[in-house]
Structure 1
Amino acid sequence: MLKRLWLCTAWALVQVLSVTPAQAQQGFSFVALGDLPYGSPDKAYGPYRTLIDRINTLNSDFSIHVGDFKSGSTLCSDEEFAHQLAHFQRFKGAVVYTPGDNEWTDCHRANNGPYDPLERLAALRQRFYTPGRSLGQQPLALQNQSDVMPAHGRYVENQRWMHQGTLFATLHMVGSNNNFETRDPVAVQEFFQRDAANVAWIEATFEQAHQRQASALVLVFQADVFETRSAWEDFPPWSGFRKSMANTLLPLARRWGKPVLVVHGDSHQFKIDQPFQLDKKPLTNVTRLIVPGASDVRAVKVTVQGAAFSFEMVTPAP
Structure 2
Amino acid sequence: MRRADVVLAALVLAAFVSPAVAAEPVGGERAFSFVALGDMPYSVPADYARFDRLIAAVNRLRPAFSIHVGDTKSGSTACTDAAFQTVLDQFRTFEQPLVYAIGDNEWTDCHRTGSDPRERLARVRQMFFPDPEKSLGRAPMAVESQARAMPEFARHVENARFAKNDVLFVTLHVVGSNNGFETFDPAAATEYFERNRANLAWLAASFAKARESHARAVVVAFQANLWDIRDSVGTIPPASGFRDTIVAIEREARAFAKPVLVIQGDYHTLEVTGFRDTRMRLVPGIQRLQVMGETEVHAVRVVVDPDMPGVFSFVPLIVPENETP
So what's the TM-score if we normalise by structure 1? 0.89
Alpha-carbon contact 2:182-2:188 (below 8 Å) kept: yes
User: Counterparts of 1:58 and 1:107 in 2: how far apart (Å)?
Assistant: 34
Aligned partner of residue 31 in structure 1, secondary structure: strand
Q: CA deviation at 1:7?
A: 7.3
C-alpha distance 281-79 of structure 1, shift in aligned 2 (>3 A): closer
User: Counterparts of 1:28 and 1:66 in 2: how far apart (Å)?
Assistant: 20
Counterpart of 2:38? 34
Counterpart of 2:316? 313
Structure 2: runs of 5+ lacking an equivalent: 1-11, 17-26
C-alpha distance 277-117 of structure 1, shift in aligned 2 (>3 A): closer
Bigger mean CA deviation after superposition, 205-214 or 273-282? 273-282
Aligned residues between the structures = 296
**Which structure has more RCO (C-alpha within 8 Å, separation ≥ 6)?**
1
C-alpha distance 279-70 of structure 1, shift in aligned 2 (>3 A): closer
Identity of aligned residues (%): 44
Residues 47-66 of structure 1: matches in 2 within 5 Å? 47-66=50-69
| Counterpart amino acid of residue 230 in structure 2 | R
User: Over residues 127-154 of structure 1, what are the superposed CA-to-partner deviations in whole Å (9 max), with x where a residue is unaligned?
Assistant: 1011211000000110010000011110
Q: What is the alpha-carbon root mean square deviation over aligned residues?
A: 1.9
User: Over residues 45-91 of structure 1, what are the superposed CA-to-partner deviations in whole Å (9 max), with x where a residue is unaligned?
Assistant: 11110000000000110000000001111110010011010010010
Counterpart of 1:5? 13
Counterpart of 2:85? 82
Q: CA deviation at 1:235?
A: 2.5
Structure 1: runs of 5+ lacking an equivalent: 9-22
User: Counterparts of 1:280 and 1:212 in 2: how far apart (Å)?
Assistant: 31
| Counterpart amino acid of residue 82 in structure 1 | Q
User: Counterparts of 1:258 and 1:278 in 2: how far apart (Å)?
Assistant: 21
Residues 1-318 of structure 1: matches in 2 within 5 Å? 5=13, 24-41=28-45, 43-109=46-112, 112=113, 114-129=114-129, 130-229=131-230, 234-246=235-247, 248-277=248-277, 282-306=282-306, 307=308, 308-316=311-319, 318=321
Alpha-carbon contact 2:226-2:242 (below 8 Å) kept: yes
Counterpart of 1:17? none
C-alpha distance 116-279 of structure 1, shift in aligned 2 (>3 A): closer
User: Counterparts of 1:285 and 1:251 in 2: how far apart (Å)?
Assistant: 12
| Counterpart amino acid of residue 116 in structure 1 | D
User: Counterparts of 1:233 and 1:149 in 2: how far apart (Å)?
Assistant: 37
User: Counterparts of 1:188 and 1:65 in 2: how far apart (Å)?
Assistant: 26
Aligned partner of residue 107 in structure 1, secondary structure: helix
Aligned partner of residue 161 in structure 2, secondary structure: strand
Aligned partner of residue 163 in structure 2, secondary structure: strand
Alpha-carbon contact 2:96-2:138 (below 8 Å) kept: yes
